[in-house]
Chains A and B, each alone.
Chain A
Amino acid sequence: MNKTKQMVLALVGVVVLYALLKALIVTGIIGPYWQIILNESMIYVIGGLGLSIIYGFTGQFSLGHAAFVGIGAYCAGWFAITFSHYGIWASLGSLVVGMISAGLVGYLIGVPILRLKSDYLGIATLGFNFIVYDGMQNSDKLSSVLGGAQGMTGVPQFQTFEWYFVTAVIVFILVRNLVFSSHGRAFTAIRENETAADVVGISPARTKIMAFTVGCVLAGLGGALYAHNYPYVNPDSFTFLESINYLIIVVLGGMGSMTGTVITAVGWTFLLEVLRMFLSLLGPSFINLRGVLYALILIVVIILRPQGIFGGMEASFLVPYIGRRKSNAAAGS
């Protein structure tokens, strides 16, 4: 099957999926609670793709991703509340605000921090997560709208599925375009061998910062959507434990696999909810069993497949077709 046919089929598949889910929502089979979860899975897809770019593709170990999601959530939420008299435009604008704020902070932090090596980078980003958390706890000192430790309320709520699904699909397409381009190749070059990348003319510093910034922009977008999905924007949603969630999604899905990240983001979100549902049926004392099962699943999966579920693999319709003997331009001329 040639590439164009594959891509068309994939697009059709997406539309069918949307129609199916929409039908389930409209008929009420997917109730309001699960709608929120569905939206949440889309948020994890977007944020997860962000960390995938930073870590899965460029190899920069960031343990502070949730902080950027949080920055996006707070900035977007503040914007949406402050300009709420503009209605939907405020909310749309807040998505942009979320992206820019997280991206800017990501850039500013990235410049000094990305010099650090792997484990140390992880620790530094973890530290940044804490500093941001502390800032969020004290956010009411900056502006009462932000709410401080109790969290921010009052962000106009949009739980319509289209918002989240369409955004996620667009993000996915754009990320795919980025990955399969010279810039995406530069990212993976850094991950594979920074020294060799340097020697073929790719600036490690600039590339890492670029990847980090893009990843943080996506985190910010996820955060902005988060603010519209939940009535509360609370600092406790952006702790380092949440950063670990994103890490798990990227690693378990498979490093350098967008397909893996997306499927794991959705799957993991639903797995946790299904577990919660099941266990609460058994009784209140079984709630913590959810954590035990979660942990066991995590351990078993990573031991059985250390490279991640989709490690090294990508859905074939995503990979661009490579023509053979295309141009007549003689190499080196």
Chain B
Amino acid sequence: MVTFFQQVVNGLQLGLVYALIALGYTMVYGIIKLINFAHGDVFMVGAFMGYIGFTFVKLPWPVALVMALITCAVIGVINERLVYRPLRYAAKISALISAIGASFFIEYFTSLNFVFGPNYISYTPPIKEITWIIGGVRITDIQVVILVTVAAFLALLQLLIFRTKLGSAMRTVSFDHDAARLMGVDVDRTISFTFFVGSGLAGIGGVLFGFAYPEIWTFLGVMTGLKAFIAAVLGGIGIIPGAVLGALIMGQVEIMTAAYISSQARDAVAFAILIIVLLIRPSGILGRNEPEKI
């Protein structure tokens, strides 16, 4: 029984990190209906920023966190401007192909020797690992840091979206671009800002991921990003609470599968669950099924 709760805690740790990444996917999809293929790679850059921050620049970890946030946010915005904006009103598939190109670019560029290099990098996280045992379950200080950081940023995000003008603009543009324009919203700037926030969160996710699983490489974003994306779809793509819900579920599913079935089957089981959910609730758990007007 204790092992079960241990796995729940482990799953929570993973799910919280997924949540930060999933939020970026869902916010971008909500506002321009694009699957931001390159988002996972932005997360990867965040992980590397964290690593570089602690290991070479010897920054205290909150500073490294902020550095990663800003770097990734900027990369996200550059991506949007250069690669997505030209195709914003073209066929969605064209924008998706462009996103795929952006993803490959980031992956292969950072793999070059003069950037991050193609190898796996293991390092010691800057937090001394303290463990508490509560009711037989091991909880590390890293897990607490992750929990607190994610919770804090989720709260900030809520504030942003529901209490600020920018947040209100984001919600309006998600609804309808033309209507938003007519109401005086600067659609371009709002979209860029959405990418800024979403990518920044992914950057933080990368740093936290590095704390918990300190082995990183330039293709880290592929699978992790994909799983976070599944999480966002599971919860209802475009719906912010859905991203968090989906991520927490994904984290649990993945850890439980690894613990009780096999480590190899993780992805397959996660996907199988996703497919089943989609067949029952085609728009995700919290998704609203909007029927076509005929």
> Does a CB–CB distance below 8 Å link A and B in the complex?
yes
Give chain A's interface residues, CB within 8 Å of chain B: 61, 112-113, 115-117, 119-120, 123-124, 126-128, 130-131, 133-135, 137-138, 195, 240, 244, 247-248, 251-252, 255, 285, 288-292, 294-296, 298-299, 302-303, 306-307
Identify A302's interface contact among B97, B230, B268, CB under 8 A. B97
- Name the residue on B nearest A134 (C-beta): B268
Interchain nearest-CB distance for B268 vs A (Å): 4
Give chain B's interface residues, CB within 8 Å of chain A: 35, 83, 86-87, 90-91, 93-94, 97-98, 100-105, 107-109, 111-113, 118, 226, 230, 233, 237, 264-265, 267-268, 271-272, 274-275, 278-279, 282-283, 292, 294
- For the complex of A and B, the 6 pairs showing the least CB-CB separation, nearest first, are A291-B108, A127-B271, A295-B105, A134-B268, A298-B101, A295-B104
In the complex, chain A residues whose CB is within 8 Å of the CB of B94: 251, 302, 306-307
Is B274 touching A138 in the complex (CB atoms < 8 A)?
no
In the complex, chain A residues whose CB is within 8 Å of the CB of B87: 302-303, 306
The docked-state distance in angstroms from the alpha carbon of A131 to that of B266 is 10
Is B98 touching A303 in the complex (CB atoms < 8 A)?
yes
- Name the residue on B nearest A291 (C-beta): B108
The docked-state distance in angstroms from the alpha carbon of A307 to that of B90 is 8
Is B264 touching A292 in the complex (CB atoms < 8 A)?
no
The docked-state distance in angstroms from the alpha carbon of A296 to that of B102 is 8
In the complex, chain A residues whose CB is within 8 Å of the CB of B279: 112-113, 115-116
Can you pick out 24 interface pairs between chain A and chain B where the beta carbons lie within 8 Å of each other?
Answer: A112-B279, A113-B275, A115-B282, A120-B233, A120-B282, A127-B274, A137-B264, A195-B292, A240-B226, A251-B94, A251-B97, A255-B91, A285-B112, A285-B113, A288-B118, A290-B108, A291-B107, A295-B102, A295-B108, A299-B83, A299-B102, A302-B98, A302-B101, A303-B87
Interchain nearest-CB distance for B160 vs A (Å): 26
- Name the residue on B nearest A286 (C-beta): B112
Given contacts A130-B271, A252-B97, A303-B86, contact A289 B282 (CB under 8 A): no
The docked-state distance in angstroms from the alpha carbon of A296 to that of B106 is 10
In the complex, chain B residues whose CB is within 8 Å of the CB of A138: 264
In the complex, chain B residues whose CB is within 8 Å of the CB of A128: 271, 275
Is A130 touching B109 in the complex (CB atoms < 8 A)?
no
In the complex, chain B residues whose CB is within 8 Å of the CB of A252: 97
Identify A248's interface contact among B100, B107, B237, CB under 8 A. B100
The docked-state distance in angstroms from the alpha carbon of A271 to that of B267 is 32
Is A127 touching B272 in the complex (CB atoms < 8 A)?
yes
In the complex, chain A residues whose CB is within 8 Å of the CB of B90: 306
In the complex, chain A residues whose CB is within 8 Å of the CB of B111: 288, 291
In the complex, chain A residues whose CB is within 8 Å of the CB of B100: 244, 248, 298
Given contacts A120-B233, A251-B93, A302-B97, contact A296 B105 (CB under 8 A): yes
Besides A138-B264, A295-B104, 15 other A-B contacts (C-beta < 8 A): A112-B279, A115-B279, A115-B282, A117-B282, A124-B275, A130-B267, A130-B268, A134-B268, A135-B268, A195-B292, A248-B100, A291-B107, A294-B104, A295-B108, A302-B101
The docked-state distance in angstroms from the alpha carbon of A134 to that of B108 is 26
Identify B112's interface contact among A195, A288, A298, CB under 8 A. A288
Is B275 touching A255 in the complex (CB atoms < 8 A)?
no
Is A131 touching B268 in the complex (CB atoms < 8 A)?
yes
Is A124 touching B278 in the complex (CB atoms < 8 A)?
yes
Is B282 touching A292 in the complex (CB atoms < 8 A)?
no
In the complex, chain A residues whose CB is within 8 Å of the CB of B264: 134, 137-138
The docked-state distance in angstroms from the alpha carbon of A306 to that of B97 is 9
The docked-state distance in angstroms from the alpha carbon of A169 to that of B245 is 50
Identify B35's interface contact among A119, A251, A285, A296, CB under 8 A. A119
The docked-state distance in angstroms from the alpha carbon of A61 to that of B97 is 13
Is B98 touching A299 in the complex (CB atoms < 8 A)?
yes
Is B105 touching A292 in the complex (CB atoms < 8 A)?
yes
Interchain nearest-CB distance for A264 vs B (Å): 12
In the complex, chain B residues whose CB is within 8 Å of the CB of A115: 279, 282
Interchain nearest-CB distance for A254 vs B (Å): 11
Is B35 touching A295 in the complex (CB atoms < 8 A)?
no
Is B97 touching A307 in the complex (CB atoms < 8 A)?
no
Interchain nearest-CB distance for A135 vs B (Å): 8
The docked-state distance in angstroms from the alpha carbon of A272 to that of B264 is 31
In the complex, chain A residues whose CB is within 8 Å of the CB of B282: 115-117, 120
The docked-state distance in angstroms from the alpha carbon of A130 to that of B223 is 11
Is B112 touching A131 in the complex (CB atoms < 8 A)?
no
Interchain nearest-CB distance for A210 vs B (Å): 21
Interchain nearest-CB distance for B212 vs A (Å): 23
In the complex, chain B residues whose CB is within 8 Å of the CB of A244: 100
Identify A292's interface contact among B109, B226, B274, CB under 8 A. B109
In the complex, chain B residues whose CB is within 8 Å of the CB of A126: 226, 271
Is B274 touching A195 in the complex (CB atoms < 8 A)?
no
In the complex, chain B residues whose CB is within 8 Å of the CB of A130: 267-268, 271
The docked-state distance in angstroms from the alpha carbon of A138 to that of B267 is 14
Is B274 touching A123 in the complex (CB atoms < 8 A)?
yes
The docked-state distance in angstroms from the alpha carbon of A288 to that of B226 is 22
Is B274 touching A291 in the complex (CB atoms < 8 A)?
no
- Name the residue on B nearest A132 (C-beta): B268
Is A292 touching B108 in the complex (CB atoms < 8 A)?
yes
The docked-state distance in angstroms from the alpha carbon of A128 to that of B94 is 23
- Name the residue on A nearest B266 (C-beta): A134
Interchain nearest-CB distance for B249 vs A (Å): 15
Interchain nearest-CB distance for B285 vs A (Å): 13
The docked-state distance in angstroms from the alpha carbon of A275 to that of B189 is 38
Is B97 touching A298 in the complex (CB atoms < 8 A)?
yes
In the complex, chain B residues whose CB is within 8 Å of the CB of A255: 91, 93
- Name the residue on B nearest A288 (C-beta): B111
Is A306 touching B102 in the complex (CB atoms < 8 A)?
no
In the complex, chain A residues whose CB is within 8 Å of the CB of B104: 291, 294-295, 298
